[in-house]
Structure 1
Amino acid sequence: MQVATGEYSDGNQTADADISGPEFDFVRSIRVFSVEIARQHWIGGDNDTCNQSQRVRVGSYGIQGNFGWRGSSVAALPAAFEGLEGWTDYSTPDGSHCPEIYKRSVFIEWRDHEGGYGFEQVDY
């Protein structure tokens, strides 16, 4: 069985059709969040602290459909993202505001052509 393939880009990783008009805003509304690590845990002892590690990237589409990644943070994740409840920006002496969290996830959000919000989250 042979599968037909087509060429949809101009070699510069952009669409070979003009999608810069407002009717294609739904394409540019797509954002992909890669939460490669979001870890928070309490370290007690001499240096009581809420230790956090994070590596978050966000990908989005440009005017002509070119996709690119840039650095981001847990703070920039959409409100619909689940699993980081208790992530804190401050530490308390007893660790009461520092729940153990470990998260890896891909989160995709978009607005459809009518402006409706949609998302999908896949944890791994």
Structure 2
Amino acid sequence: MQIWRCPMRTAFQSLTPVQSFSQLSAFQPVSSWSLTPERETLYLAQSVGQGADIDVSGSAFAFIRSIDVFDASLSQRQIGENEQCRRWSHIRHGSYDSMGQFRWRPASPDELPPAFQGDKGFGATCPSIRARAVFVDWEDHKGAYGFEQVNY
């Protein structure tokens, strides 16, 4: 997700042309990914990495701050003889600040974007719902909206 630092704590090791050629000629692929020793720190919001290594606070980088990531798990169903509605949700909202720092914070089902699929009727009526997904939405440099949802 991050163009300058992977939130999964991996880093890409760039190879010189000579190293690349040497690897290709030997046909021995060597992994160019490694874990970084940096640990995440938990605050009121969970921050990942140290942010961008360039100034991304200007309007040219507004598209970075428009990226929203939702890790959503919702469940709702009627149970028991009285058919009581049991609801459960765990949602995290990830976003970038003006320094390019990615942070997670707790969120509510009401904060899920309208394009999110699978939560229709959650909290209002009690249809049976079970949804787990990662949802990412953004606006590109021209302001066009886009999104992707991966259910799991």
Return the TM-score normalized by structure 1: 0.80
* Equivalenced residues, count: 109
Structure exhibiting the larger radius of gyration computed from Cα positions: 2
Distance 1:4 1:75 in 2: 38
Q: Which has the higher helix share?
A: 2
- In the alignment, structure 1 residue 45 sits paired with structure 2 residue 73: no
Could you list the runs of 5+ residues in structure 1 that have no partner in the other structure?
6-11, 90-96
Q: Say if 2:77 and 2:87, in contact at 8 Å, map to a contact too.
A: yes
Distance 1:103 1:77 in 2: 12
In the TM superposition, what is the alpha-carbon distance from 1:120 to its structure 2 partner?
0.2
Structure showing greater relative contact order (alpha-carbon pairs closer than 8 Å, 6 or more residues apart):
1
Return the TM-score normalized by structure 2: 0.66
Give the corresponding residue for 2:64: 27
CA offsets 1:84-103 (integer angstroms, 9 cap, x no match): 112133xxxxxxx3111111
1:1-124 matched pairs, under 5 angstroms: 1=23, 3=32, 13-35=50-72, 37-46=73-82, 48-89=83-124, 97-124=125-152
Instruction: Letter of the 1:104 partner, please give it.
Output: R
Could you list the runs of 5+ residues in structure 2 that have no partner in the other structure?
1-22, 24-29, 35-48
Structure 1 runs, 4 residues or longer, greater than 3 Å off = 2-5
Distance 1:4 1:50 in 2: 47
CA offsets 1:32-70 (integer angstroms, 9 cap, x no match): 0001x2000012325x42110000000000111110000
CA offsets 1:76-121 (integer angstroms, 9 cap, x no match): 10000011112133xxxxxxx3111111000000000011100000
The CA RMSD over aligned residues, in Å, is 1.9
